[in-house]
Amino acid sequence: MLLGLIKKDLKLFLYDRIELLILIAMPLLLITILGFSLGNFQFNKNLDLTIAYIEEETLEDALVEYEYLLMKKGLEEQDIQTIMEAASSFTIPEMIQNVLEKHFEGVTFEKVDLVEDKEAYNGVVLIEEGYRQETWNSILFHEGDIPVLSISINEQNAFELEVVKGIFEGIMEEINLAFSERTDAVNEAANSRFVNEGEHLKEEIVLSERLISSFDYYSVGMAVMFVLYGSAFISNYTLAEKRSHILSRLMITNVPMYLYISTKWLSSSIISFLQLSLVFIFCYLAYDVVWDNIWFFLLVTACLCLMIGGITSVLSMASFVANSYQLTNLFNSFFVAILAIFGGSFGSLYSFSPVIAELGRFTPNGAAMNGYFLAMTGGDFTDFYHLVFLTSVFCFGCIVLTYFIFKNRGDAK
């Protein structure tokens, strides 16, 4: 019975050309128009990023201190000289600056003594006193772990945040590479008498040099906006089936109402998944919209589809009780537009109102947009905790609201 009802909804959807036109063709048309109109604009590339660098101990002071420590170890003069040459060639500030100049445009690297206003910088790198010595000891002698590099990121703008995170991840990857090359050279020079293989500063680092283009942005923005329209379309099936007495015949066969509404939730989720898949496949083939991690992409899509299903269940029950299409029409004509604006489908709101932009991250489409950008640029599973938690809370809220509407339906049958 459950599969039969879902299959029926899928057939109704496929046979309705107007719905197919709105849900599939319209987003592709808008993506094409907006993508080409802003074809030379890249959301991340043109951002003006300033990264501050604070050094509590200069390289010269660190080298003097380290040479003294090596002498206390009782090493020979030739060995000390070999190690000091390797240590002096490995200078983190210069390596950071080289990576910035090599891979990223529009990024200013500013060395300061003190950061008085953190809001003035997109990121702050702090080299603490003793950091270099501990790093060299860990690399050359395996004495302790490599200390954590202190990096603070200004999280005011979600998109700038992802860029700065990607920059620092790229920097650490370059440093890891340098570790490997330079420690190999030191091993050879010292005949491996006291020098061990280099370790990574950070394990499982994702190198993210991905820039969000106009096609990337609007592919995501239009997809998450138009997927909302599917909720109202599927909800309309409920009222149509009520008025044609199909629903009454189902009730006579002892099909519980919660099972019927569950089929609408599942049908809407499946249709949403198919819609998003078709849109993104087309964007991949036509506009080279690619994903750094396909599993994260599927996770975001699944979360969004579940939330769309929850909206459908609420609208379906509300339409059934009200016996009117007015609620679904109001959702399509008003609420979808509001959600799209708050969620950032037409552009980031951080430059206009950071508060509204942050509120948008708690909408289904806004949370999904941030998740999709993370899947594009590379990220960590912990970055998706917000989306998974929001999906859980949102779906639970939809279940409670649907139950509340059904229990307070009055004389609606």
Tell me the mean pLDDT per 10 residues along the chain, length 413: 74 77 85 73 52 78 86 82 78 65 62 68 77 77 70 58 60 57 46 36 33 78 90 83 77 76 88 92 89 89 93 89 85 88 79 74 89 80 88 93 78 47
Is there a single domain that holds both residue 179 and residue 277? no
Q: Is residue 199 part of a domain?
A: no
Whether 57 and 75 share a structural domain: yes
- 81 and 156 belong to one structural domain: yes
Residue 365 lies in a domain: yes
Q: Is there a single domain that holds both residue 36 and residue 149? A: no
**Is 115 inside any structural domain?**
yes
Q: Are 120 and 35 found together in one domain?
A: no
- Do 305 and 402 lie in one domain? The reply is yes
Return d(Cα 191, Cα 175) in angstroms, integer. Answer: 24
218 and 363 housed in the same domain: yes
- Return the exposure string of 63-72: e unless at least 16 CB atoms fall within 10 Å of the residue's CB, then b: beebbeebee
CA 301 to chain centre: 12
The answer to whether 269 touches 308, Cβ cutoff 8 Å, is yes
Domain presence at residue 195: no
213 secondary structure, DSSP code: B
Look at residue 87 and tell me if it is in a domain: yes
**How far, in Å, CA of 405 to CA of 377, rounded?**
41
Same domain, yes or no, for 167 and 296?
Answer: no
The C-alpha angle with vertex 39 and arms to 38 and 42, in degrees rounded to 5, equals 80
Write down the pLDDT at residue 396.
94
- Identify the pLDDT of residue 411: 46
Q: Which residues contact 279 (CB under 8 A, 6 or more apart)?
A: 24, 27, 28, 31, 219, 222, 223, 226
**Is the same domain home to 68 and 126?**
yes
3-state secondary structure at position 281 = helix
In a domain, 203, yes or no: no
Q: Are 233 and 146 contained in the same domain? A: no
Sheet holding 123-127, edge to edge: 107-112, 49-55, 123-127, 150-153
Domain count for the chain, please give it.
2
Measure the N-to-C terminal CA separation of the chain; round to a whole number of Å. Answer: 21
For residue 194, the 8-state DSSP code is: S
**379 belongs to a structural domain:** yes
Q: What is residue 395's predicted lDDT score, i.e. its pLDDT?
A: 93
Residue type, 225: M
Enclosing domain of residue 156: 49-189
Domain match, 169 and 121 both: yes
Pick from 55, 61, 73: nearest CA to 110: 55
What pLDDT does residue 96 have?
66
The predicted pLDDT at position 157 comes to 52
Distance CA 295, CA 301 (A): 10
d(CA 365, CA 355): 17
In this structure, is residue 207 part of a structural domain? no
**Helices and strands (H and E) in the chain: how many:** 17, 4
- The helix (H) or strand (E) run that includes residue 203 is none
d(CA 364, CA 223): 12
Instruction: Kindly state the DSSP code that residue 157 receives in the 8-state scheme.
Output: S
Do residues 184 and 163 both lie within one domain? yes
Q: Is the dihedral of CA 286, 287, 288, 289 positive or negative?
A: negative
